[in-house]
Every structure is written in structure tokens, then in C-alpha cells.
């Protein structure tokens, strides 16, 4: 041992050790950067390490798959189940989102008409087969508080009136029908009164007609027609539609106007039913409204 | 007719049950089609009812006519029972005509269906539109009722094919003994 400590090999080793410590101290002073030699080695060996690492990783994956097949199968099943639950949650979320949108619309209408009682949003179940006046059925009925002759609206405007109510569904007659008459007035002038009533011809175009207008009316294209609320069938100031064109009745005694409904009657998704409002008349005969 | 063995009776019973289940499944499908969308659609339940009526006895025809009629009333928003009465009458008449006078051929079915569906469309127009004397009411007849009738007659071909397919596999056939065949000849 004493011989080794006195030997040159030991001194060389000490020198090499000191060199390494020196390198280490130098490396500390570089503040995180590699030494040039190390950097060169890293760069030179990079492609080899890349290939080698790739092969090794692939090999490890294969062996891992074989050795942990059961565990992966279990995990896969759990993930599938989790995906199913998440999809269900996503569907619920979409439904909720849709419901929130509907309720948001309801809030807007409610703010505009604070004295009215609305139903929950009612989905349109389907249009009456081959009805030229586009009557339809909704998914709310008497258990939701709906009665015959309740006004049916959308946030855009008046749609029609309930005519037949069962426990869970109601049939709606639209403003395109000649069987529904609504007292109406021009929103801008507030003097041009008339009756909105569908006809066979206008129903074909998805419009309705404002009749019994005074011959010296001041209506012009684009004017908004609203409910006058005189009869107690519809609340006051609900949008019905806009004037498309004006003219005279066949008898020449009164004027009329073609009205384009604010709500697209032929493509309805959901509607609201007004269950109660100030000045409501509980009379079936009110279906034939007068100004 | 010869007596049926228990096995033959069981097969007959099963086939009849399955046949009627399929008949009514098709009726539900037709009802669903009729109540979907906003476009003018054929009255699929009319040819369906006639098609069932012509291949079965009067009572079955009457019940099927009533069921199809009630469904038509629901789909078309008509007075509940109005179309049921009409279709029951049509189906019973069709069943009797085919039993007594006509052979069960496609051409016979087609013209019977054409007449029945025309009457149904015409009466619908009379009672639900013309009676109220709307302005330009005749446009409804030419632009809606006639269109529906034409669509119905065209669709009746498909309806016939579907029911024919069911009958081909599930309609029980009359088996005659050799003695009966000789006697008949």
C-alpha cells in the first residue's frame, strides 16, 4: 500500500482526480450551460442516441404490452365507460344549454310583458299533415296549465292560438288560418286599425292579411303590425308581422295589407303559450276577434 | 278441407301472429312518416288499410280501417273518429268486393285505392274547407287535396309491395286433399 501511495500511478490518479474536480468546479461556474466538450459529444452522438432510443422504446412498448395486457384491457374498458359517461354528460349539457337559451328568450319576453303568465317552452311535436294553414301540435297540455284559446307566441311574435288541448299536447291554429282573427294596429301610427286574418292565397305564401283597414290609411311597406288587445284574446302590443304591400279589398270599400309574420310559422322549433294576462277574456267565442 | 295436425295449427297461429304484428308495425311507420316535416305527404294509411283489408276477412278489415282512421285523424288534426268511420267503410267494402267479385291482383288494388283515397281527399276538402266558404277555397282542392291524392296513389305501389312481401311469407295457404282437388275439378 505504502508503495502504491508513493508510486507515480497514484500521483497520476490524484492529478486526474484534481482535473475532474477542476472540471466540475468550472462546470458550476458556467451557470447551467454544458462545457464545450460535453456539448460536442452530445451533438455528435445525437443521431445514434435518437435511433437507439427509438428502437429501445419500441421494444419496451412491445414487452410492456405483452406483460401488462390484462391491465391495459381493464384500463381500456374503464376508459370506454368513462367516454360513455362523458358523452352522456355532453348530451345533458347540450340539452341544458338549449333549455337555458329558451329560458333566456322567455326572460326577454317576460321583461317586455311583466303582467303575463307564460308556460314552459313548448316543443313543436309536428305539423298537422297536409294542413294548408300550417297548424301544429305542441308537447304541453292541460297539465301544464294550457287551456283552449290561449295565445301562442315566439320571441319574434304571435304565432297562433290553442284550439284543442289534451293532457299532454295541444293543437295550435296559426295566424295563417282564416279561422283566426286578431285585432291589430300599426305600431308606428297607432291609428290604423284592422283585423289580421289568413286567406287561402296568403297562406300559400306563408303570409297573412290585414283587412278592414280604412281606405285613407297611412300604412307603408315595412310597418310593424301589433295586437291591439281590445278583445281579450291576445295581450296588447305583441308583434304580429310587417306590412309587405297594401291594396284594396275586392269590394273597394276598405283597404287591406299583406302581412309577413314576424315568426317563421313554417319552421317553428319551440313556442311559448301565454296562460294568463291582464284583460283576458275566458270565452271561446273570442277566437273571432274584433278591433 | 282436411283437418290440420297440431303442428300445422301451431305454424298457422305463429305465422298469423307475426303477420299481424308486421302489419301494425308498418302502420306505425306510416303514421310516423305522415306526422313528420311540413311538406305535402301521401296519406299512407289509406292504401295500407285497403291493402290489409283485401287480403283478410271483413271483421279484420273493419278493425284495421278503424285503427288507420284514428291515426289519420290524429295526424291530420281532424275530428277524432271522422276518418275512422270513412276508412272502416272503405275497408269493409274493399274486403267484400275482393271476396265476392275481384281477384287479389295489383291492378284491382290500385284502382280500389285510387277511388278510396280520392273519396277521402274529396270529403276532407268538402267538410273542412269548402263548407266554410273561404275565399279562393277551390285552390285548396287543386293545390293540396289533388296533390295529396296523386302522391297517395303513387305511394300505394310501395305500400302494396311491402304488404305483398309480408303476405308472401306469412299468409297461410289453403291445402286441398287430392280428393278435394278432384272434386273441385
Residues 116-145 on A with a CB inside 8 Å of B are: 125-132, 134-135, 137
Least confident of A55-64, A244-253, A254-263, B53-62: A55-64
Average pLDDT over residues B137-144: 92
Q: What is the pLDDT of residues A263-282, one digit of tens each?
A: 988 888 889 999 988 777 76
Work out the minimum CA distance from A127 to partner chain B, whole angstroms: 6
pLDDT of residue A240: 93
Q: What is the pLDDT of residues A226-243, one digit of tens each?
A: 998 887 888 888 899 999
Q: What is the pLDDT of residues B73-95, one digit of tens each?
A: 888 888 889 999 999 999 999 99
Average pLDDT over residues B140-165: 94
pLDDT of residue B126: 93
Average pLDDT over chain A reads 83
- pTM of model > 0.90: no
pLDDT of residue A291: 36
Domains annotated for chain B, with CATH where assigned, are 6-173 (1.10.1760)
Which residues of A fall within a CB distance of 8 Å from B31? none
- Residue A232, Ramachandran bin (φ over 0: left; ψ between -120 and 50: alpha; else beta): left
Q: Do A200 and B136 touch (CB under 8 A)?
A: yes
- Nearby residues of B36 by Cβ (< 8 Å), 6 or more positions away: A126
> A130: nearest CA in chain B?
B40
Q: DSSP for B12-40?
A: HHHHHHHHHHHHHHHHHHHHHHHTSSSS-
Q: Do A134 and B134 touch (CB under 8 A)?
A: no
Average pLDDT over chain B reads 88
ipTM: 0.81
Query: How many contacts does A have with B, using Cβ atoms within 8 A?
Result: 53
pLDDT of residue A282: 64
Contact A194, A227 (CB under 8 A): no
pLDDT of residue A250: 80
pLDDT of residue A34: 59
Q: Higher confidence at residue B35 or residue B38?
A: B35
Quote the cell numbers at residue B181: 282437388
Asked if the model's pLDDT at residue B3 lies above 70, the reply is no
Q: Which residue is associated with the grid cell 297607432?
A: A190
Work out the minimum CA distance from B154 to partner chain A, whole angstroms: 16
Residues 204-263 on A with a CB inside 8 Å of B are: 204
Q: Do B77 and A267 touch (CB under 8 A)?
A: no
Residue from the list B34, B36, B144 with its beta carbon closest to the beta carbon of A132:
B144
- Please give the Cα distance from A116 to A289 (Å, whole number): 19
Average pLDDT over residues B120-146: 92
- What percentage of chain A carries pLDDT values higher than 70? 89
- Nearby residues of B174 by Cβ (< 8 Å), 6 or more positions away: B1
Work out the minimum CA distance from B73 to partner chain A, whole angstroms: 10
- Please give the Cα distance from A270 to A263 (Å, whole number): 11
Residue from the list B35, B40, B137 with its beta carbon closest to the beta carbon of A126:
B35
Asked if the model's pLDDT at residue A289 lies above 50, the reply is no
Which residues of A fall within a CB distance of 8 Å from B144? 130, 132
Domains annotated for chain A, with CATH where assigned, are 2-67 (no CATH), 117-287 (2.40.10.350)
Q: Higher confidence at residue B140 or residue A91?
A: B140
Q: What is the pLDDT of residues B98-124, one digit of tens each?
A: 988 888 889 999 999 999 999 999 999
Q: What is the pLDDT of residues A47-104, one digit of tens each?
A: 766 676 677 677 777 887 888 888 888 889 999 999 988 988 888 888 888 878 877 8
Amino acid at each position: 500500500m505504502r508503495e502504491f501511495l508513493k508510486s507515480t500511478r497514484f500521483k497520476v490518479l490524484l492529478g486526474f482526480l484534481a482535473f475532474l474536480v477542476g472540471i466540475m468546479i468550472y462546470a458550476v461556474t458556467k451557470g447551467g450551460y454544458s462545457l464545450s466538450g460535453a456539448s460536442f459529444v452530445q451533438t455528435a452522438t445525437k443521431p445514434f442516441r435518437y435511433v437507439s432510443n427509438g428502437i429501445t422504446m419500441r421494444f419496451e412498448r412491445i414487452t410492456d404490452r405483452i406483460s401488462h395486457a390484462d391491465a391495459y384491457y381493464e384500463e381500456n374498458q374503464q376508459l370506454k365507460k368513462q367516454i360513455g359517461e362523458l358523452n352522456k354528460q355532453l348530451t345533458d349539457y347540450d340539452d341544458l344549454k338549449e333549455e337555458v337559451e329558451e329560458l333566456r328568450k322567455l326572460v326577454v319576453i317576460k321583461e317586455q310583458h311583466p303582467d303575463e303568465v307564460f308556460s314552459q317552452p313548448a316543443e313543436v311535436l309536428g305539423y298537422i299533415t297536409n294542413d294548408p294553414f300550417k297548424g301544429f301540435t305542441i308537447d304541453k297540455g292541460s297539465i301544464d296549465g294550457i287551456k283552449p284559446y290561449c295565445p301562442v307566441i315566439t320571441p319574434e311574435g304571435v304565432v297562433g292560438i290553442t284550439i284543442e288541448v289534451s293532457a299532454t299536447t295541444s293543437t295550435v291554429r296559426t295566424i295563417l288560418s282564416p279561422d283566426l282573427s286578431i285585432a291589430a294596429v300599426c305600431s308606428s301610427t297607432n291609428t290604423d286599425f284592422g283585423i289580421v286574418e289568413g286567406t287561402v292565397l296568403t297562406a300559400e305564401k306563408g303570409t297573412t292579411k290585414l283587412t278592414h283597414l280604412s281606405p285613407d290609411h297611412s300604412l307603408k311597406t315595412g310597418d310593424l303590425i301589433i295586437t291591439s288587445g281590445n278583445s281579450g284574446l291576445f295581450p296588447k302590443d305583441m308583434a304580429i308581422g310587417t306590412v309587405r304591400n297594401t291594396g284594396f279589398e275586392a269590394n273597394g270599400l276598405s283597404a287591406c295589407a299583406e302581412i309577413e309574420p314576424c315568426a317563421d310559422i313554417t319552421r317553428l322549433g319551440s313556442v311559448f303559450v301565454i296562460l294568463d294576462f291582464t284583460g283576458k277574456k275566458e270565452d271561446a267565442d273570442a277566437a273571432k276577434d274584433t278591433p | 278441407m282436411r283437418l290440420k295436425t297440431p303442428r300445422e295449427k301451431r305454424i298457422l297461429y305463429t305465422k298469423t301472429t307475426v303477420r299481424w304484428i308486421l302489419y301494425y308495425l308498418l302502420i306505425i311507420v306510416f303514421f310516423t312518416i305522415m306526422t313528420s316535416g311540413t311538406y305535402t305527404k301521401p296519406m299512407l294509411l289509406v292504401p295500407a288499410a285497403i291493402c290489409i283489408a283485401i287480403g283478410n276477412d271483413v271483421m279484420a278489415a273493419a278493425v284495421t280501417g278503424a285503427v288507420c282512421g284514428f291515426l289519420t285523424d290524429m295526424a291530420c288534426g281532424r275530428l277524432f273518429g271522422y276518418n275512422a268511420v270513412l276508412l272502416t267503410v272503405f275497408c269493409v267494402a274493399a274486403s267484400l268486393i275482393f271476396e265476392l267479385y275481384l281477384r287479389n291482383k295489383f291492378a284491382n288494388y290500385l284502382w280500389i285505392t285510387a277511388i278510396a283515397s280520392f273519396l277521402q281527399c274529396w270529403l276532407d276538402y268538402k267538410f273542412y274547407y269548402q263548407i266554410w266558404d273561404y275565399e279562393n277555397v277551390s285552390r285548396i282542392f287543386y293545390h293540396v287535396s289533388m296533390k295529396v291524392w296523386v302522391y297517395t296513389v303513387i305511394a300505394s305501389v310501395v305500400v302494396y309491395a311491402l304488404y305483398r312481401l309480408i303476405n308472401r311469407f306469412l299468409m297461410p295457404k289453403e291445402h286441398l286433399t287430392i280428393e278435394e282437388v278432384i272434386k273441385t275439378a
